[in-house]
Amino acid sequence: MSGTALLVAAAPVSKGRIVDAASVLPVLAAVSPAALAGTPTASVVELADPLDPQTVLTRLRAAAMAPGPLTIFLVGQVHLDRRQRQLHLALARSTPATMRYTGLPWHWITQELRLRPAGSTTIVVDLHTDPESWGTLTQHPLDAGPGVALYGRIAPPVRRRGIETPTYMKALATVLRSGHRPPLPQLHEQAVAQSLADDAQDLLIASTGAAPVAQSPYRQPPTPSDMDPHAAITAAVEAGRHGEAASLAAAWEQTALRMHGPGSAEVIHWMEVRADLQRFAGEPARSCETWLAVAAARLSAGQAPDSAEVEAAADRAHHLWDRVRDPETVRGLGPALVALRRQVPGRQRGTLSLAQRRLEQFHTQQVG
């Protein structure tokens, strides 16, 4: 099924601009439409610093009426209008005094999306605030309505003068430039880990649309003196808190990355921990993808293809790929696994031919 991606980057052109929203568009434009929309084929609509809220509404309405999945990438700054105190996305001509007439009311977005099939719509936001809108959003989480997934970050007001950068959305676009779109929770976690500083105070949003919005303040990753990470992760897994366990492992991986650099043994260790946690959480596709990344990292670090660690990573990736049943996901991960098996066949005979045969079977099913 074909999907739609709507890219909206908006900010005032006056001295009220606090974020260079349009700077993210070249990075998003480098992402394939399929990765942006999460579908094999997709159309992309781009709005850079739009002037008029009716123009944005027209494009939004057209995108909402299109069949297939819809993903909206929204970058900019939000403010309250002075009269009704409603949240608005500031557009090019917006000023504090004219926000009610020149900004895009947030409830327009939720109204246009309310009739779409549940689970078919995702909004990803990178929004900056002033003190008034920040105070409102800390008390009343941003919501996209029932059935609409919402991910992203809301940045607090900054004291210093200058124009901010939408670092979260740029990090997210960088992940997508590989051509593969991870599951949204994982994509969100990766963008957060790559874009936010340890002392960030941003609000993070992660909602599948099936439950109330989950909004939480960014928490500084732990340091080695804070806790026994493996004990904390084990406790979270045993209690069924798989999301918490994954967040802890991701935080420690980022700490290792800063301390030891990419490709280090410490970073690879935490990648392996994440892969195991994904398996425990019943997510074989994500675990397979992470084990593929582990094998690639070990090979890039100079380990031999027939070393025990590399072969183990390849075997685990292959085993988990065999457990994936969704045809599109099998086809998405298959080429990387086949390429790895050419380089790392492992000790079991016929692994390459087995991978090729399964991938061919799923491609044959698609054609049929």
Transcribe 179-231 into DSSP letters.
S----HHHHHHHHHHHH--TT---EEEEE-SSSS--EEE--PPP-TTT--HHH
The CA R_g of the chain, rounded to the nearest whole Å, is 22
242 CB neighbour count, 10 Å cutoff:
16
Whole-model pTM?
0.62
Give the pLDDT score at 213. Answer: 65
Distance CA 315, CA 279 (A): 14
Q: What are phi and psi of 121, to 5 degrees?
A: -130, 135
Distance CA 290, CA 281 (A): 14
Give the pLDDT score at 193. Answer: 84
**Which band of pLDDT confidence, cut at 50, 70 and 90, is reported for residue 228?**
low
Give the pLDDT score at 50. Answer: 92
**Which band of pLDDT confidence, cut at 50, 70 and 90, is reported for residue 222?**
very low
Instruction: Answer for the pair 80, 65: CB distance below 8 angstroms, yes or no.
Output: no
Q: Which residues of 217-238 are buried (b: 16+ CB within 10 A; e: fewer)?
A: ebeebeeeeeeebeebbeebbe
Instruction: Answer for the pair 151, 171: CB distance below 8 angstroms, yes or no.
Output: no
**Which band of pLDDT confidence, cut at 50, 70 and 90, is reported for residue 367?**
low
The 10s digit of each residue's pLDDT in 256-281 is 777 777 788 888 999 999 999 999 88
Instruction: Calculate mean pLDDT across residues 32-42.
Output: 89
Answer yes or no: is pLDDT of 127 > 90: yes
Give the pLDDT score at 175. Answer: 87
The enclosing H or E element of 154 equals: strand 148-155
Residue 336 is classified by DSSP as H
Distance CA 303, CA 338 (A): 19
Q: What are phi and psi of 307, to 5 degrees?
A: -70, 155
**Which band of pLDDT confidence, cut at 50, 70 and 90, is reported for residue 221?**
very low
Answer yes or no: is pLDDT of 356 > 60: yes
Give the pLDDT score at 158. Answer: 84
Q: Are strands 215-217 and 121-129 parallel, antiparallel or unpaired?
A: unpaired
Give the pLDDT score at 159. Answer: 75
- What is the chain's mean pLDDT, rounded? 87
